[in-house]
């Protein structure tokens, strides 16, 4: 009976996904504060929204040239990308309940490392370190505020 209980507990922990260990303050809708964000040498986007749920997040950003970027990440059983090329994969790690790290890889090459940190229950700072296929690596800092 003890072995069965241990197996059941192990199964529940495994299937709960990484999001189970996150601070619940991450959940909800967030708006990009463009004025407080730094996107490096490129043009700042016009706007951005992200919606965190218990299962991951969905993201949309309107760039300065009116290009709309939309994607999503599902964290129920590891990390799965939606809306990205098939040769991309991701990892999602809860560093602390208020700090999570997201890594996007293309094959064996890490393209993006993003650290999401809850500054308070209504503000999230995200540091993105991008390594493009061409050009120099870029670091961006985005400030997201809880949508009202």
* Side-by-side strand order, sheet with 88-96: 80-82, 68-74, 56-62, 47-53, 28-32, 138-146, 123-130, 109-120, 99-106, 88-96
Strand ranges in 1-148 using DSSP code E only, listed in sequence order: 28-32, 47-53, 56-62, 68-74, 80-82, 88-96, 99-106, 109-120, 123-130, 138-146
- Nearest-CA neighbor of 79 among 100, 61, 108? 100
Cross-strand bridge partners of residue 31: 49, 145
Tokens encoding 93: 């790690």
Alpha-carbon distances, residue 4 vs 1, 13, 17 (angstroms): 5, 14, 21
Would you state the pLDDT for residue 127?
97
**Which of the four CATH numbers 2.40.128, 2.60.40, 1.20.1050, 3.40.50 does domain 2-146 have?**
2.40.128
Domain ranges within the chain, ordered by starting residue:
2-146
Collect contacts of 57-66 with beta carbons under 8 A, ≥24 apart: 61/32
* 33: number of Cβ within 10 Å: 13
Q: Radius of gyration of the chain from Cα atoms? A: 17
Per-residue pLDDT of the chain (148 residues; tens, 9 = 90+): 333 333 323 333 333 444 668 899 999 999 999 999 999 888 899 999 999 999 999 999 999 999 999 999 999 888 999 999 999 999 999 999 999 999 999 999 999 999 999 999 999 999 999 999 998 999 999 999 999 7
């Amino acid at each position: 009976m003890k072995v069965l209980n241990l197996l059941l507990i192990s199964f529940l922990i495994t299937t709960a996904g990484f999001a189970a260990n996150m601070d619940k303050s991450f959940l909800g809708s967030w708006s990009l504060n463009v004025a407080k964000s730094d996107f490096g040498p490129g043009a700042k986007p016009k706007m951005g929204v992200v919606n965190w749920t218990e299962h991951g997040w969905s993201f949309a950003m309107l760039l300065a040239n009116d290009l709309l970027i939309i994607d999503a990440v599902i964290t129920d059983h590891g990390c799965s990308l939606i809306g990205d090329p098939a040769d991309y994969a991701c990892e999602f790690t809860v560093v602390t309940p208020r700090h999570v790290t997201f890594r996007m890889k293309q094959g064996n090459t890490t393209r993006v490392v993003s650290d999401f940190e809850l500054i308070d229950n209504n503000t999230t700072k995200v540091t993105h370190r991008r390594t493009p296929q061409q050009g120099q690596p870029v670091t961006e800092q985005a400030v997201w505020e809880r949508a009202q």
